[in-house]
């Protein structure tokens, strides 16, 4: 039997579309000699897409054949993620489109005008660059508005070399985290020590997942930390992995951060930890993968849809193994607490990094205590943009709700905005002024949720679309909006559908007529 015959023998007489010899040859060359199985499907799809600028049906057929999978398994994964462009087989190469961020911060910086005037451009969700708005990307290259007409890519400054990571175990770290009162910085704010306790009697092998796929509009602090403090983040990862006795660590990195991917890949090649294997994986453009069970499905090569719970990830996570997920900033503070102690962290009023964007002089990431107020963060960012008056803000990105300026004396701490129907989440503070139409802001956020809904549960899938239609006439539809919001919060499977009504309800609840 010839070479091609051997390759096909992985699946005798497969059903459906047959891969061509040409597709089998090119995909086999691209992905190399890899083990069969589904968990690396997304990585292989990235490899194909990076090479061609698209993925054809023939590529999908060939990849499925080489991995011993049904074609529908590969297709359903490829078609779920926004960054995989599936085309007909006749297209040999593809010029990448211009993806212009249509998030609130970029819209304030002129993204709508760029979308109207740029050829081959389409709107994209927040790209984690609100401090550099407006953000646009061509393929994997971030481009500047000044060169967008010529599609010239900006020079990506490589990250500083990551120094040797300390892999010495840290004793008593669990107790120090409890003393510190450290909470997860990815959005939910769950106490870290309590999360670790769930694994106390869990069987082996165990898994640690690093969620570096920050997708909440207005959030870019994880990018900042991986650019500026990568050694400390990785040190926190090692400390957590050792303390939890995990066998595998998965770093799930946002696809919009290719420079960080290259830096991490190089750094991890030189890291050796006895008994622990580290895997670097890329997201592919799905906000819902910020939810930990959706992220786990994505790591397994599936559609990033949340799972019903129980069982919880600490019981059965990645491939059924006990799993703990930590956000990038959480790992930074684990390393910091290991160095300076939990009491020091607590005495400094539980500091954290805030992403501040919108109508401020100096958008960026600011380190401040959890008790810092909105007004104080605005001042840290240089105050309001000249000629603008503070009008409203999102304390926790799109999900955290929209609040009037008169709440600016509230602290950006866990539990404060929950009392008002919102939350601080990942600390993404976005500022709006008297130049902004708040109903346009809310409509933009609801469109984002409708686009990003994974479609698994009806309350979110249908609810986001219905909410988007109802807010076209909020006064007349006020009562049904309230009923729909309550239904979405109570019946949606995950936080996306549960939080999606927050911008609408907070605007209707907390704003006086003269504040809108």
Distance of alpha carbon 459 from the chain centroid:
22
For 384, the 3-state DSSP assignment is strand
Contacts of residue 168, defined as CB under 8 A and 6 or more positions apart, other chains included, come to none
Whole-angstrom distance, CA of residue 502 vs CA of residue 442: 9
| Whether CATH 3.10.20.600 fits 349-433 | yes
Closest listed residue to residue 242, CA positions, set 309, 165, 356? 165
- Give me the average pLDDT of each 10-residue run along the chain (516 residues): 44 68 94 86 95 93 94 96 90 76 95 87 93 89 67 57 84 96 93 96 96 96 95 96 97 94 88 90 96 97 96 96 98 98 98 98 98 98 98 96 98 96 96 97 97 96 97 95 97 96 97 84
Strands 136-138 and 141-143, how do they pair?
antiparallel
Q: Are 322 and 314 in contact (CB under 8 A)?
A: yes
From-to residues of CATH 3.40.50.11540 in the chain: 173-343
| Residue bearing tokens 């708040």 | 438
Whole-angstrom distance, CA of residue 200 vs CA of residue 334: 18
Instruction: Supply the pLDDT for residue 141.
Output: 81
Q: Are 122 and 99 in contact (CB under 8 A)?
A: yes
The full 3-state SS of 93-133, as one line of letters, equals CCCCCEEEECCHHHHHCCHHHHHHHCCCEEEECCCCCHHHC
Q: Which fold has domain 173-343?
A: Rossmann fold (3.40.50)
Q: Which fold has domain 438-515?
A: de novo design (two linked rop proteins) (1.20.1440)
From-to residues of CATH 3.40.30.10 in the chain: 98-147
**Which H/E stretch holds residue 352?**
strand 352-358
Radius of gyration of the chain (CA): 23
Q: Are 370 and 358 in contact (CB under 8 A)?
A: no
Instruction: Supply the pLDDT for residue 157.
Output: 58
Helix axis angle, 221-228 to 258-268, nearest 10°? 40
**What are the backbone angles phi and psi of residue 81, rounded to the nearest 5°?**
-95, 135
Numbers of helices and strands, H then E, in the chain: 21, 15
Q: Return the CATH class of domain 98-147.
A: alpha beta
From-to residues of CATH 1.10.10 in the chain: 3-87
Instruction: Supply the pLDDT for residue 514.
Output: 78
From-to residues of CATH 1.20.1440.230 in the chain: 438-515
Q: Return the CATH class of domain 3-87.
A: mainly alpha
């Amino acid at each position: 039997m010839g070479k091609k015959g051997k390759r096909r023998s992985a699946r005798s007489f497969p059903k459906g579309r047959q891969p061509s010899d040409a597709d089998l040859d090119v995909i086999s060359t691209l992905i190399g000699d890899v083990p069969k199985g589904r968990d690396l499907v997304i990585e292989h799809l990235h490899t194909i897409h990076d090479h061609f600028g698209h993925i054809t049906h023939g590529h999908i057929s060939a990849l499925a054949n080489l991995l011993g999978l049904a074609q529908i398994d590969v297709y359903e994964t490829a078609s779920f993620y926004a960054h995989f462009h599936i085309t007909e087989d006749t297209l040999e190469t593809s010029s990448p489109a211009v993806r212009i961020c249509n998030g609130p911060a970029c819209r304030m910086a002129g993204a709508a005008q760029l979308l109207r005037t740029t050829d081959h451009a389409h709107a994209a969700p927040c790209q984690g660059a609100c401090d550099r708005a407006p953000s646009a990307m061509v393929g994997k290259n971030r481009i500047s508005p000044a060169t967008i007409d010529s599609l010239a890519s900006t020079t990506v400054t490589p990250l500083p070399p990551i120094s040797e990571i300390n892999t010495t175990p840290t004793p008593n770290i669990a107790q120090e985290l409890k003393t510190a009162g450290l909470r997860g910085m990815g959005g939910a704010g769950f106490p870290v020590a309590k999360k670790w306790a769930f694994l106390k009697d869990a069987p082996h092998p165990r898994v640690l997942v690093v969620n570096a796929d920050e997708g909440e509009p207005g959030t870019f602090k994880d990018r900042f930390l991986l650019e500026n403090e990568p050694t400390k983040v990785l040190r926190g990862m090692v400390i957590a992995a050792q303390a939890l006795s995990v066998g595998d660590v998965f770093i799930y990195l946002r696809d919009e951060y290719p420079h960080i991917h290259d830096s991490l890949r190089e750094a991890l090649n030189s890291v050796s930890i006895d008994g622990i294997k580290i895997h670097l994986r890329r997201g592919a453009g799905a906000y819902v993968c910020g939810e930990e069970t959706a992220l786990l499905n994505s790591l397994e090569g599936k559609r990033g849809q949340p799972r019903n719970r129980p069982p919880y990830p600490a019981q059965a996570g990645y491939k059924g193994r006990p799993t703990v997920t930590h956000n990038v900033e959480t790992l930074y503070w684990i390393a910091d607490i290991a160095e300076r102690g939990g009491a020091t962290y607590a005495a400094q009023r539980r500091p954290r990094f805030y992403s501040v964007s919108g109508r401020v002089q100096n958008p960026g990431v600011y380190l401040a205590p959890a008790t810092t107020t909105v007004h104080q963060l605005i001042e840290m960012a240089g105050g309001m943009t000249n000629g603008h008056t503070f009008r409203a803000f999102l304390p926790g990105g799109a999900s955290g709700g929209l609040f009037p300026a008169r709440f600016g004396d509230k602290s950006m701490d866990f539990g404060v905005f929950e009392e008002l129907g919102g939350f601080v989440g990942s600390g993404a503070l976005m500022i709006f002024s008297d130049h902004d139409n708040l109903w346009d802001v809310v409509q933009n956020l609801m469109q984002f949720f409708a686009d990003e809904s994974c479609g698994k549960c009806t309350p979110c899938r249908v609810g986001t679309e219905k909410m988007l239609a109802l807010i076209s006439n909020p006064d007349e539809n006020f009562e049904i909006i309230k009923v729909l919001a309550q239904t979405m919060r109570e019946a949606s499977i995950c936080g996306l559908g549960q939080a999606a009504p927050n911008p609408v309800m907070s605007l209707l609840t907390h704003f006086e007529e003269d504040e809108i």
